[in-house]
């Protein structure tokens, strides 16, 4: 329980760092094609990942979302909700089959396996994992994240330690690449909007799966920071080798092949896993959106979406990125505006809800902890806090009790845990509860 936010952070990174970022192809077409100034764009991209990573996961937790439509219906009007719903479903599907195409390119470049076979293997794994429960799915999404972080940092260290480069020559070489956008700052906005479209649905679901808003905030923030570190490190490595890898489908893989064959094998496998992570998350969010909580229906939808996506993946990874990504990025700008406005408008309510849930957890821990009793006043407060929450009342109460049980099971000193993680100003809390009850 103590480090649950890292589980969320790693799962979030696994969703964002898919075929384009871990392979380097996105970075080539959106940033490095502008030369050295493109690296500034990469830094700005990292900042946006931190800001919106926190926003997306936290909003999902605040509303206890099961799909993106549940959040959008709360933060914007019905027309924009419908538009965003359509955009995200279409965008998730398009991004999904681009990832599947990336899986095929990855195995083709490293092992000579036909791209169609690699894409088929990825599609099969997507369907197979969808039959697991959600906690296991979250663990799968995050399992390869620490590995790719270590690998990319190692590649960057290997690239620069004890070596020097002619950056003027690299700048000239980089500018021979055809850019996806007209200038680097437009690339930052367009590409991050694309990343947001990739990650928002699953970020809402990840946030919705946990009770404590503070955990969600940390998970989204730390996930965004690590995405920024990974992207900057990968960009520096590719830029230093730009003259050698600019024509490769998988630039990072081309660099790794010059380090050691065994390391290249490991990297290719890890990139395939990350591609799978992103493709699975995108398809899974679509299936969850239309299954209405029905697990059997969700799995049938996963099979259908994966099958159609496999057929669409035959367009080719590099070509699909150049054509589809800019269009999706423009569509995603509307999403960023709505998310930011909702965050600023709901910020005070989110802070209050954070402490309301802390109080509910304290009461629940008292109920489940041996040799303690809760008062009638505490029972009434627990009920009222559940009623005024934006989340479903009965589900929230049940999940609060389950979380309290886990804390008791996993914690040696519950009193210390309360002091370190669940502090509440009771006077301020009761005042806020009274105000909100009066306004209902």
Terminal CA-CA length for the chain: 34
Task: Give the mean pLDDT of 172-193.
Answer: 89
Assess contact for 183 and 263: CB atoms under 8 A. no
Q: CA–CA separation, 374 vs 419, rounded Å?
A: 19
Which secondary-structure segment (H or E) carries 258? Answer: none
Asked if pLDDT for residue 142 goes beyond 70, the answer is: no
237: nearest Cα among 260, 253, 221: 253
Asked if pLDDT for residue 198 goes beyond 80, the answer is: no
pLDDT at 212: 92
Distance of CA 14 to the CA centre of its chain: 7
Tokens linked to 1: 């329980």
| Residue 321 confidence class, pLDDT cut points 50, 70, 90 | low
Assess contact for 177 and 29: CB atoms under 8 A. yes
307: helix, strand or coil: helix
Q: Which tens digit of pLDDT belongs to each residue from 362-394?
A: 888 887 776 667 788 888 899 989 999 998 889
Within a 13 Å sphere around the CA of 263, how many CA atoms are in the beta-carbon half?
A: 16
Tokens linked to 110: 């490293």
Q: Which tens digit of pLDDT belongs to each residue from 36-91?
A: 999 999 999 999 999 999 999 999 999 998 888 889 889 888 888 888 888 888 88
Q: Which tens digit of pLDDT belongs to each residue from 215-231?
A: 999 999 999 999 899 89
Q: Which tens digit of pLDDT belongs to each residue from 297-306?
A: 988 999 999 9
Q: Which tens digit of pLDDT belongs to each residue from 243-273?
A: 888 888 778 888 888 888 888 888 888 888 8
User: Residue 373 carries which DSSP code?
Assistant: -
Phi/psi for 370 (5° steps) reads -60, 145
- Burial classification of residue 411, based on how many CB atoms lie within 10 Å of its CB (0-12 exposed, 13-18 middle, 19 or more buried): middle
pLDDT at 58: 95
Tokens linked to 224: 């965004």
Asked if pLDDT for residue 280 goes beyond 70, the answer is: yes
Asked if pLDDT for residue 158 goes beyond 80, the answer is: yes
Q: What is the pTM of this model?
A: 0.82
Q: CA–CA separation, 271 vs 252, rounded Å?
A: 10
Name the average pLDDT for the chain: 85
**Domains detected in the chain:** 4-344 (1.10.4160.10), 349-433 (no CATH)
| Residue 282 confidence class, pLDDT cut points 50, 70, 90 | confident
Asked if pLDDT for residue 156 goes beyond 80, the answer is: yes
26: nearest Cα among 276, 231, 172, 272: 231
């Amino acid at each position: 329980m103590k480090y649950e936010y890292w589980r969320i952070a790693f799962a979030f990174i696994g969703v964002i760092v898919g075929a384009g970022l871990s392979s380097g192809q996105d970075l080539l077409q959106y940033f490095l094609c502008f030369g050295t100034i493109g690296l500034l764009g990469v830094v700005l991209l990292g900042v946006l990942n931190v800001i919106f990573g926190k926003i997306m996961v936290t909003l999902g937790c605040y509303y206890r979302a099961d799909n993106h439509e549940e959040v959008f219906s709360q933060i914007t009007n019905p027309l924009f909700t419908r538009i965003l719903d359509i955009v995200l479903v279409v965008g998730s599907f398009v991004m999904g089959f681009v990832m599947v195409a990336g899986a095929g390119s990855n195995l083709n470049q490293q092992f000579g396996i036909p791209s169609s076979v690699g894409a088929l293997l990825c599609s099969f794994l997507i369907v197979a994992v969808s039959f697991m429960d959600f906690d296991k799915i979250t663990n799968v999404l995050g399992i390869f994240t620490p590995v790719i972080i270590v690998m990319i940092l190692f590649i960057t260290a290997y690239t620069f330690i004890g070596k020097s480069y002619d950056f003027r020559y690299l700048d000239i070489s980089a500018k021979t690449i055809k850019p996806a956008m007209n200038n680097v700052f437009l690339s930052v906005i367009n590409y991050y909007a694309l990343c947001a479209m990739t990650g928002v649905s699953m970020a809402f679901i990840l946030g919705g799966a946990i009770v404590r808003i503070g955990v969600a905030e940390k998970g989204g923030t730390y996930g965004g920071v690590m995405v920024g570190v990974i992207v900057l490190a990968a960009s520096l490595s590719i830029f230093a080798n730009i003259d050698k890898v600019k024509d490769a489908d998988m630039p990072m893989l081309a660099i790794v092949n010059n380090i050691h064959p065994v390391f290249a094998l490991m990297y290719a496998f890890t990139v395939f896993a990350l591609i799978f992570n992103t493709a699975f998350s995108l398809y899974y969010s679509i299936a969850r959106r239309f299954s209405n909580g029905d697990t059997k229906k969700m799995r049938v939808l996963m099979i259908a979406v994966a099958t159609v996506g496999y057929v669409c993946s035959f367009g080719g990874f590099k070509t699909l990125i150049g054509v589809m990504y800019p269009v999706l990025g423009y569509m995603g700008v509307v999403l960023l505006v709505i998310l930011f406005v909702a965050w600023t408008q709901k910020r005070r309510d989110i802070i209050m809800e954070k402490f309301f849930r802390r109080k509910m957890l304290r009461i629940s821990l008292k109920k489940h902890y041996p040799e303690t009793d809760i008062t009638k006043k505490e029972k009434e407060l627990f009920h009222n806090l559940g009623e005024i929450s934006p989340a479903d009342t009965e589900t929230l109460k049940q999940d609060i009790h389950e979380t309290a049980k886990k804390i008791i099971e996993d914690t040696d000193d519950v009193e210390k845990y309360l002091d370190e993680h669940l502090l509440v100003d009771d006077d301020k809390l009761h005042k806020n509860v009274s105000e909100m009850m009066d306004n209902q």
